[in-house]
């Protein structure tokens, strides 16, 4: 139940809280006490730094993710241009080898706007729900969404400028995302128009890749400029309702990133590279309740923390699989 409640709190934008002493398992209390007693010798320090140095060159999950993201979007482009009808439509609504698929948030917007449920929409959302339930909620954000890849590039530029003291990251309350989520739903209901879809970077970029560029790309450029010069990854962290929708799916997903507090040195490299660092609050010394903690559903499963961790304290796990095998 702790995983579910912690995930909901994160999705609602609430601040992660430090667990009370009575909430920690005795094994965790003992493990933290052992770490405090342990002397950090020069040899151990060298081992830690050597592990960190090796981890900086590990990009296994990032490379897999980038390849998957490019391949999925390329399938839409090639299917349209060569008219093979393998994948029809765009990311918001499509038909893949005859199976209807619809983005959950886009489908919700359509149903609210038209106040009517179409059978194909039900089939499409059910298919997508099962797919992202298996793969893990916000996996869509980092493994499929084309804007995500551009935002990573903008983030790299932002960080370079920040190191030179040319820009400073402006942070907003993560609860803004929930307010916008409800606002877009209300606008669809009252206006009969899918307002969010007109400004959704995911939909705009997907259609631009498939059918050709349009003026809507100016909105994408404006968002990227804002993220470079003002607020790091602002759209994904503070605005996008798609991430919220898939995050809620992720609360019941079996695929998760798991944290092992016993092997962790708490050096914080994982939080520095994380796209949504609040989900890794548990890696701070004294924040774990159990020896093995599943990272919350607001996690995008991007794998950056898994790659960078020098002690392999973060890894992908399928819940319940160890009991089956």
Of the candidates 51, 16, 50, 66, which has an alpha carbon nearest to the alpha carbon of residue 304?
66
Sequence ranges of the domains in the chain: 2-53+256-324, 61-248
**Alpha-carbon span 134 to 225, nearest angstrom:** 35
pLDDT digits (tens, 9 = 90+) for 32-71: 888 777 766 666 767 777 777 777 778 899 999 999 999 9
What's the pTM value of the predicted model, to 2 decimals?
A: 0.89
* Per-residue pLDDT tens digits for 115-162: 877 777 788 788 888 888 888 778 999 999 999 999 999 999 999 999
Supply 316's token pair.
């992908």
226-266 residue pLDDT tens: 999 999 999 999 999 999 999 998 888 999 999 999 988 88
C-alpha 204: how far from chain center: 19
From 9, 29, 1, 2, select the one nearest 279 (Cα to Cα).
9
Say if CB 128 and CB 145 are below 8 A apart.
no
Report the pLDDT value the prediction gives residue 324, as an integer from 0 to 100.
46
pLDDT the model gives residue 91: 87
Question: Which residue, 268, 303, 310, 309, is CA-closest to 285?
Answer: 268
Q: Residue 294: which H helix or E strand, with range?
A: strand 292-294
Distance (Å, whole) CA 296 – CA 128: 21
Supply the pLDDT for residue 187.
94
- Residue 156 C-beta-side C-alpha neighbours within 13 Å: 5
Q: Chain-centre distance of CA 117, in angstroms?
A: 29
- 194-218 confidence digits (pLDDT tens): 999 999 999 999 999 999 999 999 9
What pLDDT score was predicted for residue 238?
93
- d(CA 69, CA 52) in angstroms, rounded, equals 27
What does the pLDDT look like over 69-96, one tens digit per residue? 999 999 999 999 988 878 888 888 888 8
């Amino acid at each position: 139940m702790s995983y579910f409640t912690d995930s909901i709190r994160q999705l609602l934008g609430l601040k992660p809280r430090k667990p009370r002493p009575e909430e920690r398992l005795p094994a965790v209390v003992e493990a933290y006490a052992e770490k405090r007693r342990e002397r950090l010798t020069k040899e151990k320090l060298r081992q830690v730094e050597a592990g960190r140095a090796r981890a900086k060159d590990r990009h296994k999950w990032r490379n897999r993710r980038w390849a998957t993201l490019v391949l999925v979007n390329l399938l839409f482009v090639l299917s349209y241009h060569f008219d093979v009808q393998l994948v029809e439509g765009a990311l918001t609504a499509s038909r893949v080898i005859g199976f209807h698929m619809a983005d959950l948030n886009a489908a919700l917007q359509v149903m609210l706007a038209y106040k009517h449920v179409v059978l194909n929409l039900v089939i499409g959302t059910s298919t997508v729900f099962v797919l992202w339930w298996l793969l893990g909620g916000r996996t869509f954000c980092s493994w499929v969404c084309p804007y995500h890849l551009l935002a990573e590039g903008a983030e790299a530029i932002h960080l370079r400028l920040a190191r030179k003291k040319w820009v400073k990251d402006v942070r907003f309350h993560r609860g803004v995302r929930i307010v916008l989520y409800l606002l877009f739903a209300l606008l669809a209901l009252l206006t009969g128009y899918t307002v969010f879809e007109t400004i959704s970077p995911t939909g705009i970029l997907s259609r631009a890749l498939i059918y050709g560029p349009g003026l809507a790309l100016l909105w994408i450029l404006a968002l990227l400029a804002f993220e470079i010069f003002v607020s790091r990854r602002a759209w994904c962290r503070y605005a996008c309702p798609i991430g919220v929708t898939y995050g809620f799916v992720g609360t019941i997903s079996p695929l998760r990133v798991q944290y092992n507090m016993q092997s962790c040195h708490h050096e914080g490299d994982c939080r520095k590279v994380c796209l949504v660092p609040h989900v890794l609050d548990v890696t701070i010394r004294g924040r774990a309740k159990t020896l093995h903690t599943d990272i919350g559903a607001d996690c995008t499963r991007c794998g950056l923390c898994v790659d960078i961790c020098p002690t392999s304290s973060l890894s992908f796990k399928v819940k319940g699989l160890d009991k089956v095998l």
